[in-house]
């Protein structure tokens, strides 16, 4: 059982990340504008959008049922649970039992499942196509995700995310080549999961009118916007916690926590920069051709597994 202080820290972490998620997406938006040679909105624009949406009426298509209605809440709740499980500033997971890689991966799968379900439930054909694309992407990406993290877990001898991170950062793993390959494959899979161009097929604006988001409006859409931002932050935090834990706080001293926080912000900023360059210099991939892209990720992960087996 987690102690009260562990629980409070986890809760605090969840709420803070929830609060800064729009800042993160706002930052990406501002960067995108720069790449377009536009002035663009301020980084706080997403907060304004959310406030505006919260005041609007919540409309539903007549064909929609409870899955459509509850999806935003389920999505935010599940993501908050993940937030409480992931080590963000610290190296160890805030709540030990929850920070298991299998739990986290399947919690992400829950998010995906409900997201697609709502698309099918809305009765809109665009949302339906978006939903089926979302599920297809899941099938394509999850093997890479699981296999690459499995390599890391086998090397560290634990499935606890904090434990894997600790093992990797302290160098207590026997096969550096395997860790590197697994890390690359994992990062690749994470890029798919982020839903950024060229792989934003499920929410493709010009193709599918934002897929499952099509029919949402008002407060539900606001919740979804926050949730999408939070999901992106969490995927990055997941990547950092397992493969790039360097700099995070190993103890609960004020100094190391502050350093951990600063390092986390720097990592996010660097990744955001890379993301911005990549997503603004590509066209959207054809959905039909996506498996070709995702197979290479699985290839790298498998190679990592082979490296682990031979101990390179």
Partner 1 sequence: MNVHIDARVGASHISYLRAKLPHAVLEENWQTPNQVTVTVKLNTLPEAVATLYYGREGWLSVVVCNDERPINDTFGLYYVLSMEGEDRCHVIVHAAVPSSNEEFPSVTPKVPACVWGEREIRDMYGLRPIGLPDERRLVLPDDWPDDLYPLRKDAMDYRLRPPPTSDKENYQFRNDAEGETTVVPLGPLHITSDEPGHFRLFVDGEDIIDADYRMFYVHRGMEKLAETRMGYNEVTFLADRVCGICGYAHSVAYASSIENALGIVVPQRAHAIRSIMLETERLHSHMLNLGLVCQFTGFDSGFMQFFRAREKAMTLAELLTGGRKTYGINLIGGVRRDVLAEQRSRTLALVAELRAEVQRLFEILLATPNFGPRVKGVGILDRKIARDYSPVGPVVRGSGYRRDTRVDHAFAGYGSVDVDINTGDGCDVQSRTMIRAAEIFDSLSLIEQLLDSTPTGPILNEDFVYKPYKFALGFTEAPRGEDIHWSMTGDNQKLYRWRCRASTYANWPVLRYMLRGNTVSDAPLIVGSIDPCYSCCDRMTVVDVRKETSRTIPYKEMERYCRERTDSPLK
Sign of the four-CA dihedral 122, 126, 130, 131: positive
- Interface residue with partner 1 among 6, 11, 23, 32 (CB under 8 A) is 32
Task: Decide: is 286 part of the binding site for partner 1 (CB under 8 A).
Answer: yes
Task: Decide: is 56 part of the binding site for partner 1 (CB under 8 A).
Answer: no
Q: Residue 160's beta-bridge partner residues?
A: 100
CB of residue 109 to partner 1, shortest distance in Å = 23
Task: Decide: is 52 part of the binding site for partner 1 (CB under 8 A).
Answer: no
C-alpha 21/C-alpha 44 separation (Å) is 11
Task: Decide: is 1 part of the binding site for partner 1 (CB under 8 A).
Answer: no
Task: Decide: is 193 part of the binding site for partner 1 (CB under 8 A).
Answer: no
Task: Decide: is 139 part of the binding site for partner 1 (CB under 8 A).
Answer: no
C-alpha 161/C-alpha 156 separation (Å) is 10
CB of residue 304 to partner 1, shortest distance in Å = 25
Task: Decide: is 204 part of the binding site for partner 1 (CB under 8 A).
Answer: yes
Which parts of 74-133 interact with partner 1 (CB under 8 A)?
125-126, 129
Task: Decide: is 30 part of the binding site for partner 1 (CB under 8 A).
Answer: no
CB of residue 75 to partner 1, shortest distance in Å = 23
- Interface residue with partner 1 among 96, 207, 217, 303 (CB under 8 A) is 207
| DSSP letters spanning 221-264 | HHHHHHHHHHHHHHHHHHHHHHH--TTSBSS--HHHHHHHHHHH
CB–CB of 189/151 below 8 Å?
Answer: no
C-alpha 288/C-alpha 294 separation (Å) is 12
Q: Quick one: which segment of 35-43, 146-154, 225-233, 258-266 binds partner 1 (CB under 8 A)?
A: 35-43
Q: Is 90 helix (H, G, I), strand (E, B) or coil?
A: strand
Cα(first)–Cα(last) distance of the chain, in Å? 38
Task: Decide: is 197 part of the binding site for partner 1 (CB under 8 A).
Answer: yes
HSE at residue 48, side-chain half, CA atoms within 13 A, is 6
Task: Decide: is 36 part of the binding site for partner 1 (CB under 8 A).
Answer: yes
> Which residues are near partner 1 by CB under 8 A?
32, 35-38, 125-126, 129, 197-198, 200-201, 204-209, 280-289
């Amino acid at each position: 059982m987690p102690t009260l202080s562990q629980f409070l820290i986890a809760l605090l972490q969840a709420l803070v990340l929830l609060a800064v998620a729009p800042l993160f997406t706002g930052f990406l938006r501002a960067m995108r504008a720069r790449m377009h040679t536009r002035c663009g909105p301020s980084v706080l624009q997403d907060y304004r959008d959310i406030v505006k949406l919260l005041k609007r009426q919540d409309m539903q298509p007549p064909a929609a049922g409870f899955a459509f209605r509850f999806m935003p809440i389920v999505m935010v709740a599940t993501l908050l649970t993940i937030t409480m499980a992931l080590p963000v500033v610290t190296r160890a997971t805030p709540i030990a039992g929850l920070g298991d890689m299998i739990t986290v991966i399947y919690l992400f799968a829950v998010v995906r499942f409900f997201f697609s379900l709502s698309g099918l439930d809305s009765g809109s054909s665009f949302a339906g196509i978006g939903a089926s694309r979302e599920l297809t992407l899941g099938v394509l990406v999850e093997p890479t995700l699981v296999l690459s993290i499995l390599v890391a877990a086998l090397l560290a001898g634990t499935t606890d995310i904090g434990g894997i991170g600790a093992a990797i950062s302290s160098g207590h793993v026997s096969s550096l080549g395997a860790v590197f390959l697994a890390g690359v494959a994992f990062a690749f899979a994470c890029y798919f999961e982020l839903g950024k161009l060229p792989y934003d097929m499920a929410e493709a604006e010009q193709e599918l009118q934002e897929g499952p988001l099509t029919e949402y409006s008002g407060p539900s859409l606001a919740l979804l916007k926050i949730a999408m931002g939070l999901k992106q932050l969490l995927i990055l935090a997941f990547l950092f916690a397992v493969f790039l834990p360097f700099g995070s706080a190993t103890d609960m001293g004020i100094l190391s926590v502050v350093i951990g926080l600063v390092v986390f912000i720097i990592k996010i900023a660097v990744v955001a920069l890379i993301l911005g360059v990549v997503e603004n210099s590509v066209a959207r991939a054809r959905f039909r051709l996506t498996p070709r892209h995702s197979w290479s990720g699985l290839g790298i992960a498998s190679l990592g597994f082979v490296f682990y087996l031979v101990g390179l």
